[in-house]
Chain A
Amino acid sequence: MSLLEVSNLGIWFGGLEAVSDFNLKVETGHLYGLIGPNGAGKTTVFNMLTGMYKPNKGSIALDGVNITGKNPEYISKAGIARTFQNIRLFNGLSVLDNVKLGLHNRIVYGMMTGILRTPPYVSKEREMDAKALEILKIFELDPMANLMASQLPYGQQRKLEIARALATNPKLLLLDEPAAGMNPNETEELMKTVKNVRDRFGIAILLIEHDMKFVMGLCEDITVLDYGKIIAHGDPSSVKHDPRVITAYLGGE
């Protein structure tokens, strides 16, 4: 049984079929890519996997549990975390608090404990601080822990989003264009970080990316979408030479 099994997933908005017959199998510890031209439906797939859209058709199973059409909170607890194409950080909060929020469902104490400051408050907050700093360290963000998230430069904001997602202890991490807007050096560094995360946490990662060097150099298995349908699937070299993929990207007769 695979970690994630998606079969015949489909969604339509009014008359527009945004995604149809999407199939995917994801195994723990591997890196997967989802590519395709603009408007192919890649982010829509992510939104269905994380419960932000309810699919009209098909099923999603994580670790054998059916999570089709569940709400985002449920799916986060089930073990899928994500980042966003346009960065969505908690800008009014510190870098540390952003990661501590990722720990929200892992280190738990009640509202009254917080208000009355009973001993569990102190110990749990300490535990959260330590854990959050540990995660920030992986991304070399620990010196910025007390800065506001909005004060970070762009590249570090992207990293913080990944750190926050990892704090939820996911089995599967979805990255939506993690290298967007980065220069070649930053992209190179991010590649190392993503690999490092996979090795260290032993989780599966599925990413959307337009930077072909990034995708081809990182992913072991690539799915290509066009007009909401899978047009190719396989390892990087076979996908790269697939005539349908070349047609989709460059146009053809």
Chain B
Amino acid sequence: MKTARASKSKQVSHSYLITFGIVIAFYIIIQIMSGRGVLTSSLEGQLIPMCAYAIMAVSLNLTVGILGELSLGHAGFMSVGAFAGVLVYMNMSSGIPSWCAMFFAILAGALAAGIFGLLVGIPVLRLSGDYLAIVTLAFGEIIKNLLNAMYLGADSSGLHVSFKDAASMHLSANGKVLINGALGITGIRKSSTFTLGIILLIITLAVILNFIHSRAGRAVMSIRDNEIAAQSIGIDATKYKLMAFILSAVFAGIAGVLYALNYSALVATKFNYNTSIQVLVFVVLGGMGNITGSVIAAAVLTVLPEVLRVANNYRMLIYSIVLIAMMIINQGPGMIAWRKRFVAKVKANHSDGKEVE
């Protein structure tokens, strides 16, 4: 009885350590490389987006791999988080220490995305089937178009919103335009750092991995595997679906804040359908339900187009070959069997060593 329990908890902590180890090792390697000036500036510019996309992929994996529902509008939550976070950041940064403003920006981004996750989730997650895919697809487009057409300004009398142009907000002389329609938010002080990105990624990993290996996470996976059986043993399917979906949206919002504060301007069209699909590609290639896989796939596939710039015309050709290769390595039945054998071998060696002790 004891051995079964011990080996279970050991398994869990092992997979945690490997994931965190990879992230921290990666951080150290990048720090050394950038210290020696080995990294090109274009590559260095990809480091923060890489962290943001890794957080996106991990959070989407919670919806797609753990909850088993398809979301095609994850960029919508990233967008909501980005705009909310940047607005808070820009209106706080005077007088308050930067890290403090950053903290509140991330909090605001998380909160805003979480609220939208709740609003989208409540009607849709009561149903079972592919409805979530359709609704999130629409949500992503609606958010993009709304933010793209929105003018937001503030003056002494409060906030003003218009969907026509900046002038029709009738701001007083001391007022300022916060969101300028299709031009979005400009004049953002770039404040995201690679270190912050890695910290946020580690927090995301810790929260989501802990969630998956807890009572609530198990309930979510039971709904994925068999909703009828889950209900028959007293699990409230709607509650746990919502919980996982909102958690997923919250981290997409955090990724949005991290991403947006890396540029001086923020436009809504960045978070379009292509971004949602790109993140979904990271999740599928990394393996659905495989959190470590999501991080690696996101990191590799974000940097790859930059690295391949040397290859000019062959860039997209090589990119697609890498996609196919990753698919075969991750999902091919032969490779899965080989991996299983390898893991079993390592485990056997490990337990032998233990017995000798």
Contact = CB atoms under 8 A, between A and B. Distances in A.
The answer to whether A and B come from one shared complex is yes
A128 to B, nearest CB: 8
B219 A104 contact: yes
Contacts of A110: 216
A105 B214 contact: no
A88 B235 CA distance: 15
B233 A165 contact: yes
B211 A111 contact: yes
Interface in A48-98: 50, 52, 71-73, 76-77, 81-82, 84, 88-94, 96-97
Q: Chain A interface residue count: which class?
A: 35 or more
Interface string B85-103: 0000000000000000000
Interface residues of B, number: 32
Interface stretch (B17-25, B110-118, B141-149, B223-231): B223-231
Interface stretch (B4-12, B45-53, B302-310): B4-12
A108 B225 contact: no
Contacts of A145: 4, 8
B297 to A, nearest CB: 20
A164 to B, nearest CB: 6
* Among B215, B224, B233, B289: residue with most chain A CB under 10 A: B233
B222 A101 contact: yes
Contact of A84 (B210, B213, B229, B289): B229
A116 interface: yes
B226 A108 contact: no
Contacts of A128: 215
A185 B211 CA distance: 42
Given A115-B207, A145-B4, A88 B229 contact: yes
Given A71-B231, A145-B4, 15 more contacts: A73-B234, A82-B232, A92-B224, A93-B222, A96-B8, A97-B218, A97-B221, A100-B218, A102-B233, A105-B234, A110-B216, A116-B210, A133-B1, A142-B1, A142-B4
Interface of A: 50, 52, 71-73, 76-77, 81-82, 84, 88-94, 96-97, 100-102, 104-105, 107-111, 113-117, 121, 124, 126, 128-130, 133, 142, 145-146, 164-165, 167-168
6 contacts: A90-B222, A93-B222, A104-B219, A111-B214, A129-B4, A142-B4
Interface of B: 1, 4-5, 7-8, 11, 207, 210-211, 213-219, 221-222, 224-226, 228-236, 243, 289
